[in-house]
Chains A and B, each alone.
Chain A
Amino acid sequence: MRELFPMKQVNGFIFSLLLTIIALSVYFMDMSFELGMTILLVTAFVQAAVQLVLFMHAGESEDKSSIYTTVFYGVVIALATVFGSLLAMIWGYL
Chain B
Amino acid sequence: MEFFERFAVPHPSPLIYASMVAIGLTVIAIMAGITYFKKWGYLWREWLTTVDHKKIGIMYIISALLMLFRGGADAVMMRLQTAVPENSFLDAQHYNEVFTTHGIVMIIFMAMAFIIGLMNFAVPLQIGARDVAFPRLNAISFWLYFAGAMLFNISFVIGGSPDAGWTNYYPLASNDFSTSVGVNYYNWALQISGIGTLMTGINFIVTILKMRAPGMKLMKMPMFTWSALITNIIIVFAFPVLTIALLMGTFDRQFATHFFTTGDGGMDMMWANLFWVWGHPEVYILILPAFGIYSEVISTFSRRNLYGYKSMVASMVIISLLSFFVWVHHFFTMGQDALTNSIFSVTTMAIAIPTGIKIFNWLLTMWKGKIEFTVPMLYSVAFIPLFTIGGVTGVMLGMASADYQYHNTMFLVAHFHNVIIPGVVFAMLAGLTYWWPKMFGFKLNERIGKWGFWNLTIGFCLAFFPMYITGLDGQARRMYTYSEATGFGPLNMLSFLGAGIMAIGFIFIVYNVYYSFRYAPRNVGDDPWNARSLEWATHNPVPEYNFAITPQVNSSQAFWDSKKHGHQLFNKDDLKEIHMPNNSGLPIIMAGLFFVFGFSFVFYIWPGVILSGIGILACMAYRSFEKDDGYHISIKEIKETEDKFGGAK
Give the interface of A toward B (CB within 8 A). Answer: 66, 73-74, 76-77, 80-81, 84-85, 87-89, 91-94
Contact = CB atoms under 8 A, between A and B. Distances in A.
Contacts of B340: 87-88, 91-92
Q: Is the interface of B mostly helix, strand, loop or mixed?
A: helix
Interface in B398-444: none
B237 interface: yes
A89 B209 contact: no
A89 B337 CA distance: 10
B395 to A, nearest CB: 20
Contacts of A80: 324-325
Contact of A84 (B267, B328, B335, B339): B328
B209 A88 contact: no
Of residues B269, B277, B334, B343, which shows the largest number of chain A Cβ atoms within 10 Å of its Cβ? Answer: B277
A84 B341 CA distance: 11
B325 A87 contact: no
Given A89-B269, A93-B336, A66 B328 contact: no
Interface in B262-311: 267, 269-270, 273-274, 277
13 contacts: A73-B237, A76-B321, A77-B237, A80-B325, A81-B277, A84-B325, A85-B270, A87-B328, A87-B343, A89-B269, A92-B337, A92-B339, A93-B335
A76 B237 CA distance: 11
A73 B237 CA distance: 9
B209 A85 contact: no
Given A77-B237, A77-B324, A81-B241, A87 B209 contact: no
B337 A88 contact: no
A66 B241 contact: no
Contacts, number: 48
Contacts of B273: 85, 88-89
Interface string B572-616: 000000000000000000000000000000000000000000000
B267 A89 contact: yes
Contacts of A88: 273, 328, 331, 334, 336, 340, 344
Nearest to B325: A80
B379 interface: no
B327 interface: yes
Contacts of B325: 80, 84
A92 B277 contact: no
B337 A93 contact: yes
A85 B331 CA distance: 12
A81 B336 contact: no
Given A87-B340, A89-B273, A91-B340, A66 B267 contact: no
B212 to A, nearest CB: 14
A14 to B, nearest CB: 33
Of residues A76, A84, A87, A93, which shows the largest number of chain B Cβ atoms within 10 Å of its Cβ? Answer: A84
Given A89-B269, A93-B335, A93-B336, A84 B327 contact: yes
B270 A89 contact: yes
A66 B324 contact: no
Contacts of A74: 237
Interface in B334-354: 334-337, 339-340, 343-344
Contacts of B331: 88
A69 to B, nearest CB: 11
Nearest to B335: A93
A92 B327 contact: no
A-B pairs with lowest CB-CB distance, top 4? A92-B336, A92-B340, A77-B324, A88-B328
Contacts of A85: 270, 273-274, 277
Nearest to B210: A63
A80 B323 CA distance: 11
Contacts of B321: 73, 76-77
Contacts of B269: 89
Interface in B193-212: 209
Contacts of A66: 209
Of residues B335, B336, B337, which shows the largest number of chain A Cβ atoms within 10 Å of its Cβ? Answer: B336
A93 B269 CA distance: 13
Given A84-B327, A87-B328, 17 more contacts: A76-B321, A77-B324, A81-B241, A81-B277, A81-B324, A84-B277, A84-B344, A85-B277, A87-B336, A88-B340, A89-B336, A91-B340, A92-B336, A92-B339, A93-B335, A93-B337, A94-B337
A80 B320 CA distance: 13
A76 B270 CA distance: 21
A92 B331 CA distance: 13
